[in-house]
Amino acid sequence: MTLEQTKTEEILKWFEQINQIPRCSKNEEAIRNWLINWAQENRFAVVTDKVQNLLIKVPASPGYEKSPIVVLQGHLDMVCEKTSDSDHDFTTDPIKLIYQGEWLTADKTTLGADNGIAIAIAMAYAKDKEVSHPPLELLFTVDEETGLVGASAIEPGFFEGSLLINLDGEDEGHFTVGCAGGLNTDITVPIDLCDVPTGFQLMKINASGMTGGHSGIDINAEKANAIKVLNQTLYALTTQVDIRLVDISGGSVHNAIPRYAEAWVLVQQNKIETVETIVQATETRLKSAYQNTEPDLFIKIEAGEGHYDQAMTLEKTAQIIDFIMVLPHGVSAMFTDMEQVVETSNNLATICIEAGKLKVITSQRSSRESRLEALTHRIEACTRLVGGEAHSKSLYPAWQPNNESKLLAKSVEIYERLFDKTPIVEVMHAGLECGIIGEKIPGMDMISIGPTIKYPHSPNEKLHIGSVGQVWVFLRELLKETTGI
C-alpha cells in the first residue's frame, strides 16, 4: 500500500467518526465539543470566540518554529438534505456511508463531505509526526451553510496566521482564488381567500424526481427547479380551466436547487379529465426539455385528502402563479473575460404558505456588486408589483483574485512538480469564507483547495476517494515549503 493510500484510509477513518455526529447548521455543539476533547487529549491549545468558532493551535515541527503560521480552514456544519423516502433524523442519526468503487456516498442523505472532509484532513496533519510543517491554526467556523455566519463574526486577532488554505474546494487539481458574493431575499405576499365554490374537487400536484444540487456550483448545469416545474404546470392549467390554489410548498434551504414541490388546488369536478391531460402533457414536454439532466423528473396528480372551506380567489391564484413565473432562477450573466464561468445568478429556493401569506426565499450570487444589486432590485420590484414585501439580508462579499499571491505561485509550482500537469486556477460561483476573512483581515494570502466532491447539497453528494490522497500529498509538500512565502 502506498503512502498516499495509507493517508487516504486514515483521513476517511476520521471522516467516518465525524459523520457519527449530527451537525446540521446551527447544531454544531456536539462536533465542536468532540474536536475540543480531541485537541485537549493531544495537548493542542484551543480557543473559541463569541459565536463558538473553533481554533486549534498545532505547534510547528522541529526546525519550522519561525515559519509563517498557516491557517487550515473549514466549517463545522453541513447541508442536511434527504430523499423523500428517507426516515433519517438529522438531529440524532449518524450519516450512513456507502463505498461504491472510487466513490463514497451516503444512504439517501447528503454525505457531509462538504465540509467534514476538511476537518478530517486537518486532523490528519495535526496528528502526523512524519510531516514537516510550520505552526498550524485549524480554524473551523460555525453556520457556514446558512450564510457564512461564523466567518462574519470573526474578529481580528482571533487567529494569527497570514497564510490561509481553505479546504472547502470541491475539485482536486483546481485552485480557487476568488468567489462570488451574495445575499438572500425573504419575500412575503398577502393572499386573498374566499369560500370554496360548489362543484370543485381538491387535487394534489407533485413535481419531483429532480436531482437538485448546489445553488452556486450547479446553477449552470441545466438542472430543473422543482418550484418552476410545478408552477409551469399550474400556469398551463390556468389557460384552460378554473383552478383555485389552496396551498403550495417546495424547496428546503437557500443554497440548494429545489428537488421537489407540491400544490393543492381546487378544480371543477367536470374538468378533472382535462386537468389530468394537461398535467400529463406538461410532464411530457418538460421531461423532453430536461432529458439529459433530469431523466427521473415527474409530475403527478391525484385526489387530495382533507377538507378546505376556503381557497385563494381566482384572481389571487392567477397573480401568485404569474409572480412565481416572473421570479428569476438560474444564470443571469456570465463573465466576459473567463470562459464558461458564471458571474451572476439566482436560486428560487423555497416557497410555502404560512400565516395567511405566501413566503418565498431567493438566493442571489455575483462576483460583481453592481449586478448583484440589480438582480436583487429586480426581485424586490417584482414583489412590490403584487403587493408584497421583500427584505434582503445576509450580504457577504465577493473574494477578488490576487494576481500577486505568493501562496498561489508556490502552490502551482509544487503541483506541477508533483503531478506533471498544470492545475486549474479559477474563480468559483459560490460563497467561500475567504471573501469575508479577506475583507476583515487585509493582506491575507489565501487559496481554496479540496478533494473532488460531486452534487453537494443534495442526497446524490459523493466524494472521490482517490482525490483525498492527492490533496494530502500536495498539501504535505506545500506546508514544507511555506517558509519562504
Whole-angstrom Cα distance, residue 350 to residue 226? 10
Quick one: which H or E segment has residue 55?
strand 54-58
Q: What b/e string do you get for 412-423 counting C-beta neighbours within 10 Å, with b at 16 or more?
A: bebbeeeeeeeb
Residue 144 is among the residues annotated as catalytic for this protein: yes
| Percent above pLDDT 90 for the chain | 92
- Confidence band of 485 (pLDDT split at 50, 70, 90): confident
Which one has a higher pLDDT value, 339 or 79? 79
Peptide bond into 115 cis (omega under 30): yes
Which one has a higher pLDDT value, 234 or 129? 234
Whole-angstrom Cα distance, residue 179 to residue 450? 15
pLDDT in tens, 120-163: 999 999 999 889 999 999 999 999 998 899 999 999 999 999 99
Write the DSSP assignment of 12-34 as a string of letters: HHHHHHHTTS--BTT--HHHHHH
Phi-psi region of 249 (alpha: psi -120 to 50; beta: other; left: phi over 0): beta
Q: Indicate whether this model's pTM tops 0.95.
A: no
Whole-angstrom Cα distance, residue 276 to residue 287? 16
Which one has a higher pLDDT value, 483 or 226? 226
Is 361 in the same domain as 429? no
Q: In the 8-state DSSP scheme, what is residue 78?
A: B
Residue 195 is among the residues annotated as catalytic for this protein: no
Do the Cβ atoms of 219 and 330 come closer than 8 Å?
A: yes
Given 28, 77, 168, 283, the catalytic residue: 77
The CATH number covering residue 238 comes to 3.30.70.360
User: Over 80: is that where the pLDDT of 68 sits?
Assistant: yes
Can you give the pLDDT at residue 405? 96
pLDDT in tens, 257-313: 999 999 999 999 999 999 999 999 999 999 999 999 999 999 999 998 777 788 999
Can you give the pLDDT at residue 283? 98
Q: Which residues contact 75 (CB under 8 A, 6 or more apart)?
A: 115, 118, 140, 141, 142, 143, 144, 145, 150, 168, 433
Is 132 in the same domain as 216? no
Beta bridge partners of 265: 203, 245
Is 213 in the same domain as 167? no
Averaged pLDDT for residues 158-181: 96
Given 28, 81, 144, 433, the catalytic residue: 144
pLDDT in tens, 1-41: 787 889 999 999 999 999 999 999 999 999 999 999 999 99
**46 lies in a domain?**
yes
Is 96 in the same domain as 17? yes
Averaged pLDDT for residues 80-108: 96
Report residue 213: phi and psi, to 5°: 135, 180
Burial of 335 (0-12, 13-18, 19+ CB in 10 A): middle
Is 295 in the same domain as 431? no
Which residue, of 364, 396, 428, is where some domain finishes?
396
**327 lies in which domain range?**
183-396
Burial of 342 (0-12, 13-18, 19+ CB in 10 A): buried
Whole-angstrom Cα distance, residue 464 to residue 100? 10
Which residue, of 369, 396, 423, is where some domain finishes?
396
Give the number of domains in the chain: 2
Is 331 in the same domain as 211? yes
The angle at the Cα of 404, spanning 402 to 407, to the nearest 5 degrees, equals 85
Is 218 in the same domain as 358? yes
Whole-angstrom Cα distance, residue 378 to residue 395? 16
Residue with grid cell 450547479, as numbered in its chain: 218
Is 284 in the same domain as 352? yes
Is 39 in the same domain as 84? yes
Residue with grid cell 502526523, as numbered in its chain: 128
Cell of 267: 378544480
Output the average pLDDT for the chain.
Answer: 95
Is 93 in the same domain as 206? no
Can you give the pLDDT at residue 125? 92
Can you give the pLDDT at residue 263? 97
Quick one: which H or E segment has residue 236?
helix 226-238
Is 428 in the same domain as 357? no
Residue with grid cell 472532509, as numbered in its chain: 117
pLDDT in tens, 424-478: 999 999 889 999 999 999 899 999 999 999 999 999 999 999 999 999 999 999 9
Residue (of 58, 29, 31) closest to 43 by Cα position = 58
Do the Cβ atoms of 236 and 385 come closer than 8 Å?
A: no
Residue 471: how many other CB atoms lie within 10 Å: 23
The CATH number covering residue 409 comes to 3.40.630.10
Strands (E), 5-102: 45-48, 54-58, 70-75, 97-100
Residue 402: how many other CB atoms lie within 10 Å: 17
Can you give the pLDDT at residue 270? 94
**485 lies in a domain?**
no
Is 257 in the same domain as 156? no
Can you give the pLDDT at residue 476? 95
